[in-house]
Each structure stands twice: as C-alpha cells, then as structure tokens.
Amino acid sequence: MSEIGVFEFKGKRYEFPVEIGTENEISIDIKTLRGTTGGIITMDPGFKNTGSCKSEITFLDGEKGILRHRGYAIEDLTKKASFLEVAYLIIFGELPTKEQFAKFEGDIKKKSLLNEEIKDILDGFPRSAHPMGVVSSLTGALTAFHPKYTDVHSEEEIYNAITNILGKFPVIAAWAHAKNEGTPFNYADNSLGYVENMLMMMYKIPTTKYKTNPVVLKAMEELLILHQDHEQNCSTSTVRLVGSSHASLFASVSAGISALWGPLHGGANKAVIEMLEEIIEDGGDVEKFINKAKDKKDPFRLMGFGHRVYKNFDPRALIIKESADAVLADLGVTDPTLKVAKHLEEVALSDPYFVDRKLFPNVDFYSGIIYRALGIPVEMFTVMFAIGRLPGWIAQWKEMRKNNEPIGRPRQLYMGAPKRDFKEVSER
Ligand code: ACO
C-alpha cells in the first residue's frame, strides 16, 4: 500500500507509512515521529487511538459487534469447541488435531498439583482476604516454586510455563475460594475435563459426592470461552507491558490479574450485582437509577453498560444472555436481580442518553447473574473472569515474546514546575 500519513508543523511536512490490517483497519506508523521532528510526541491518554502492537490473535469490530479469534467467530467457538480447544487455538494459532489436543491436555493435567507449601502462604492471608489479591499473589509466587519456567528465552520453558499456569490456576482459584469459605482445599481430579475439574474443586465438600450438572457445565464452558481474549484491553496490555521487560509469564499474568480486578474492567461483573441489589433494596425504582447515571454531577454509572470498543451490542452479552436464561430455568432460580436487569436494559436501550452514546450492555451485565445462580460469591466473580481470560493473557504474552517487542515505555508531557532553586527548610 503506497498511501502515507502526512503531518505538518511549522511549515514542515513529515510523512509516515500507512499500514492496513487483515480487515482493512488503517494505522499510521509514527515510530519515527520523535526522531524526525526533533522531539514531538503524540498525546493519547487511555490509548483510545493508539495501537501498541500488531497481533494475529483476535479481531473485533466494535461498530458491527464482531468478535473473532484467529479468524473463527466467537458464536461458533462457544457452541462447537471446548474451553481448552479454544485456549489451544488462541495460544498456538490453529485448532488442535486430536493428537495435539491430547498432548496439550495431558501436559496441563501433569502440572495440576500445587506445591503443598503454597498452603503456608495461604495461611498468612486473613480469611477475609479478597480472592483476587490472593490469586494474583499466588500466581506471582509460582516464579519462586518453578524458577526454571521463568526463562523467557527458552521455547521449551515457555511451553512448560504455559501448561504449568493453565494446570495450576484453577487450583489456586479454588483454594482462594476455600480460604474465604473455611472449607477444605480440594485437589484436581485428572479424570475430569478442565472446566468440570474447576467446578468440582470449587464446590466439592468431603461429606457429599460431587456431581456435575450438565447445563451448568455447558454454561460455564461457554462463559469462560467468551472471556478468553479481547485484544488489547487493560489487563492484556498490562500483561504485554510487564512481559516486555522480559519478566516471566507468571509475573506478567499476576500483574494482569491486578489490572482485571478494578471495577471499570473485570470487577464490573461484581459491581453489576451490587448495583442490582442496591436498586432492589431501594424499592426497585429503575428510572431513578437511570437518572442518577445520566446526572453528570452524580458519580453513579450503570455498571455493565458501555464499552471502550463496542459501540454496538457486545456479541458476548448476546450469548451470555441465552446462557443465563438456560441456567436459571434449569436450576429453577427465580432471581429478582434478573427482573431488574431486564427492566434496566429495556429502559436504557430506549433512552436517548444511552442510545446517543452507544452504551449497550456488556459481557459483565449477565455473567454476574449466572455466577450468582451457581452460588458463586460475588468476591469470586472476577476470579472466574480471570480463569476465562488466562489463555488470552498467555497467547498475547507469547506473541509479544515471539515478535521480540521492545520494552513498553510511553512518553509524557511534563506540566510541572520549571527549574527552581532548593530552599532550606528554615526558608520555606
Ligand atoms: N453509565 C452512564 N454513563 C456512561 C456509562 C455508564 N455505564 N459509560 C459511559 N458513560 C458516558 C460517560 O459519562 C460519557 O458521557 P459524556 O460524553 O457526556 O461525558 C460517555 O458515556 C463516554 O464514556 P467514557 O467514560 O468516555 O467511555 P470510555 O470508553 O472511556 O469508558 C467504560 C468505557 C469504562 C467501560 C465505561 O462505559 C464504564 O465506566 N462502564 C461501566 C463499567 C463497566 O461496565 N465496565 C466493564 C467494561 S467491559 C470489561 O471490562 C470486560
């Protein structure tokens, strides 16, 4: 493509190459901007217009509501593939053959035992510790238990780190949950599939036999697939940025978990339920809360609405909505929060404030309702998101290493005091 981007400043003209992506997205490559202009930088807080990398993993079109991984539509992947198959696709680029899948799954299962000393670390946390903090800490702690896998220059050790973290992460999550609940720590059962195993470790208590509900398993598998990757969101960018310093996969993912924790990102699924409960406790006046969300003087926002990229319906929210209905019907749950959620959705989708700003329900709007129906406590909602997002973080970290991307280091515009003389304390 011969097109160029032109920038003019103080009568001088600077040209920059234009690059076109697979789906005709256009980018202006400004790598040489600072050097050629004598120090000019771009300013883009929140990186709303800034591409940080080239990626082959996920395509999403926020205007059209499209999400594809490695070319496959999210609607096909959720209906036709298992969580681990999609993980393989995202991480390695192709859907696995039977043999490739058997090896991958076997390698993950081999790594599903946590070092018993991890229990000593867990002992040090208070019972009330938020599981996201615990999960982030224990994921970082894997660097201490498996130092060999922190070698970011060895393909073999990177593969070991990938299978290790995939094997251990659901156990870490289940143990963080057990710590909160005061229930025994369960171990993986390698005769079960990945998601079934995760559910078993979360719910099994020694006094009763654990039995998987197929409707719940299907919904959970779909839900976790939906969360696997979403290109350069806040936590994924964090993982890539931390990894760009050649920090290990464990350290990078641990940082990603912290980024996901915030209520404007993965923490929104918890915030949605809290908001719905608040509306019910307040008497159920949905319009009142809609008005609060529209009032610029009120910090209240409709949680689960709006998205940085989707300016159309979040395709994941459409799939989740169906799953939520199936799970609630199967479990016979009549959740008053669902009624409020539907009312809220109807009002918001017809209100010019939300319509004009293209604020649609996002993935977190319905996921919290499913988690709640399954009896998962709100503190664990974002941990469930992290279990789902793990393959995406891995894939993005691996791609960043493969492309040998430079260390991430943005610039800034300094707006502080100019040079001034130091004053002794007696003169201040
Ligand atoms: N409720 C009310 N108003 C909203 C909302 C909301 N949920 N979201 C955005 N707006 C308004 C803003 O006030 C702003 O209005 P203005 O143009 O009059 O000033 C306009 O819509 C644009 O909003 P921004 O904050 O600039 O949009 P941005 O892309 O930066 O934010 C975000 C996206 C953070 C997701 C935002 O929509 C939000 O806070 N949503 C609620 C939290 C949430 O659900 N987060 C989960 C996101 S999905 C995920 O991480 C998996």
Number of the ligand 1 atom closest to the C-alpha atom of 365 = 44
In this structure, which residue's CA is closest to atom 11 in ligand 1?
A: 357
Q: How far is the CA of 298 from the centre of ligand 1 (A)?
A: 14
State the Cα–Cα distance between residues 396 and 408, nearest whole angstrom.
14
Q: Distances in Å between the alpha carbon of 21 and those of 51, 238, 311?
A: 12, 23, 20
State the Cα–Cα distance between residues 399 and 393, nearest whole angstrom.
10
In this structure, which residue's CA is closest to atom 17 in ligand 1?
A: 357
Number of the ligand 1 atom closest to the C-alpha atom of 304 = 44
What pLDDT is stored for residue 206 in this prediction?
87
Q: What rounded mean pLDDT belongs to the chain?
A: 93
In this structure, which residue's CA is closest to atom 44 in ligand 1?
A: 304
The 10s digit of each residue's pLDDT in 140-150 is 999 999 999 99
Least confident of 1-15, 93-107, 142-156, 408-422: 1-15
What pLDDT is stored for residue 338 in this prediction?
79
Q: How far is the CA of 82 from the centre of ligand 1 (A)?
A: 32
The 10s digit of each residue's pLDDT in 45-62 is 999 999 999 999 999 998
Say which residues have a Cβ less than 8 Å from residue 368's Cβ, sequence separation at least 6: 269, 270, 272, 273, 304, 378, 381
User: Which has more pLDDT, 25 or 363?
Assistant: 25
Q: How far is the CA of 307 from the centre of ligand 1 (A)?
A: 6
User: Which has more pLDDT, 368 or 258?
Assistant: 258
Helix, strand, coil share (%) of the chain residues, nearest 5: 55, 5, 40
State the Cα–Cα distance between residues 143 and 248, nearest whole angstrom.
8
* Neighbour count for residue 115 (Cβ, 10 Å): 14
Residues listed for the chain: 428
Instruction: Give yes or no for a contact between 17 and 2, defined as CB atoms under 8 angstroms apart.
Output: no
How much of the chain, in percent, has pLDDT values that exceed 70?
100
Mean pLDDT across 273-279: 92
pLDDT at 226 over 60: yes
Mean pLDDT across 376-387: 93
Say which residues have a Cβ less than 8 Å from residue 107's Cβ, sequence separation at least 6: 159, 163, 167
Confidence of residue 266 (pLDDT cuts 50, 70, 90): confident
Which H or E run includes 40?
none
Ligand 1 site-directed mutation target among 270, 279, 362, 384, most atoms within 8 Å of CB = 362
Q: How far is the CA of 118 from the centre of ligand 1 (A)?
A: 39
Q: Which residues are known to be catalytic?
A: 307, 364
The 10s digit of each residue's pLDDT in 200-217 is 999 898 898 899 989 889
Identify the three-state secondary structure at position 105. helix
- Among residues 308, 221, 234, 239, the alpha carbon closest in space to that of 266 is found at 234
Number of the ligand 1 atom closest to the C-alpha atom of 46 = 30
Identify the three-state secondary structure at position 243. helix
- Among residues 141, 148, 94, the alpha carbon closest in space to that of 120 is found at 141
Q: How far is the CA of 128 from the centre of ligand 1 (A)?
A: 30
State the Cα–Cα distance between residues 280 and 272, nearest whole angstrom.
12
The 10s digit of each residue's pLDDT in 79-117 is 999 999 999 999 999 999 999 999 999 999 999 999 999
State the Cα–Cα distance between residues 17 and 139, nearest whole angstrom.
41
Which amino acid, 354?
Answer: F
In this structure, which residue's CA is closest to atom 20 in ligand 1?
A: 357
| DSSP secondary structure letter of residue 317 | H
Q: Buried (b) or exposed (e) across 193-203, using 16+ Cβ within 10 A?
A: ebbbbbbbbbb
Cβ < 6 A, ligand 1 pocket: 264-266, 268, 293, 301-308, 357, 359, 362-364
Q: Distances in Å between the alpha carbon of 305 and those of 301, 313, 364?
A: 8, 10, 8
Confidence of residue 2 (pLDDT cuts 50, 70, 90): low
- Among residues 233, 200, 276, the alpha carbon closest in space to that of 386 is found at 233
What pLDDT is stored for residue 113 in this prediction?
96
What pLDDT is stored for residue 328 in this prediction?
83
Least confident of 82-86, 171-175, 224-228, 354-358: 354-358
